[in-house]
Amino acid sequence: DIQMTQSPSSLSASVGDRVTITCRASQNIRSYFNWYQQKPGKAPKLLIYGASTLQSGVPSRFSNSNSGADFTLTISSLQPEDFATYYCQQSYGTPRTFGPGTKLEIK
Amino acid sequence: QVQLQESGPRLVKPSETLSLTCTVSGGFVSSGSYFWSWIRQPPGKGLEWIGYFSSRGTTNYNPSLKSRVTISVDSSKNQFSLNLSSVTATDTAMYYCAREPYGDYDAFDIWGQGTMVTVSS
């Protein structure tokens, strides 16, 4: 299985801050990489797919960059609605695997 | 707009079979290039992919659950289903169905709202 690791596991930030969350795959997954946002009691929501493409309707303050097997989600200016848990996921192979999540909390 | 809705028993006894159905509206489960997946999330924990049934009729299951899982499609009802046998308390989770278009880049773009299943006697 392809293992996905995320850091940090939790993060406190303020509205307007620039935030980065990192995900690392255990092997080369090319651009078969996705980010999801999950709010309490809700299903995950696709933010970014194919390592770089914003899902329709997702604000442009979200972006992803990658270097090899390392991927970084950046939120350029945090908004109140961005406080949630973020998961990375690989779709290069099966089983599909997710990172353990990063909980973004209000400072 | 495609929507997914899970349904099924919320409480299952240990050693029995968990059975859930996902109803697809606004699209067809047997057309296009899609994987129709089940994903679960134990309370307070992360996401685990269970498996998929593809619109071309193939299945693929997580090896960790493969011996207990069956995913099937009923095209006449536009539904796909999950059967998970011999359940234990560790199978207690929120169960989501999701659509994954396959092609250049695969991702779970549409999710059901989820259904919480508890395994308990």
The pLDDT of residue B22 is 98
Place of tokens 């269970």: B50
DSSP assigned state of A81: G
pLDDT digits (tens, 9 = 90+) for B15-24: 999 999 999 9
User: Would you state the pLDDT for residue B55?
Assistant: 87
Question: Is the pLDDT score of B69 beyond 80?
Answer: yes
Query: Searching chain B, which residue's CA lies closest to the CA of residue A86?
Result: B46
The model's confidence at residue B102, banded by pLDDT at 50, 70 and 90, is confident
Do A49 and B109 count as a contact with CB atoms less than 8 A apart? yes
Tens-level pLDDT at each residue, chain A (107 residues): 999 999 999 999 999 999 999 999 999 999 999 999 999 999 999 999 999 999 999 999 999 999 989 999 999 999 999 999 999 999 999 999 999 999 999 99
Q: Which token pair is B48?
A: 């685990």
Closest C-alpha to B103, from B32, B49, B29: B32
Q: Which residues in chain B are closer than 8 Å to A35, comparing Cβ atoms?
A: none
Residue A89 touches partner B, C-beta closer than 8 Å: yes
- Are B37 and A96 inside 8 Å of each other by CB? yes
B53 touches chain A (CB under 8 A): no
The span from the first CA to the last CA of chain B, in angstroms, equals 39
Residue B37 distance to chain A (closest CA, Å): 10
pLDDT of residue B83: 98
Residues 6+ apart with CB under 8 A from A20: A72, A73, A74, A75
Query: Is residue B32 very low, low, confident or very high in pLDDT (cuts 50, 70, 90)?
Result: confident
Pick from B105, B113, B114: CB nearest A49: B105
Query: Measured at the alpha carbon of residue A87, what is the angle toward residues B112 and B60, in degrees to the nearest 5?
Result: 60
Query: What is the identity of the amino acid at B22?
Result: C
Nearest to A91 by CA among A59, A39, A53, A63: A53
B106 and A94 within 8 Å at the Cβ level: the answer is: no
Q: Does B43 touch chain A (CB under 8 A)?
A: no
For residue B41, pLDDT over 90 is answered with yes
Instruction: State the smallest CA–CA distance between residue A27 and chain B in angstroms.
Output: 17
Sorting pLDDT into bands at 50, 70 and 90, what band is B114? very high
3-state secondary structure chain B: CCEEEEECCCEECCCCCEEEEEEEECCCCCCCCEEEEEEEECCCCCCEEEEEEECCCCEEECCCCHHHEEEEEECCCCEEEEEECCCCHHHCEEEEEEEEECCCCCCCCEECCCEEEEECC
pLDDT for B43 equals 97
Q: Which residues of A touch B66 (CB under 8 A)?
A: none
CA-based angle B20:B25:B26, to the nearest 5? 155
**Chain B touched by A56 (CB under 8 Å):** no
Please count the residue pairs, one from chain A and one from chain B, whose beta carbons lie less than 8 angstroms apart: 63
pLDDT tops 80 at residue B104: no
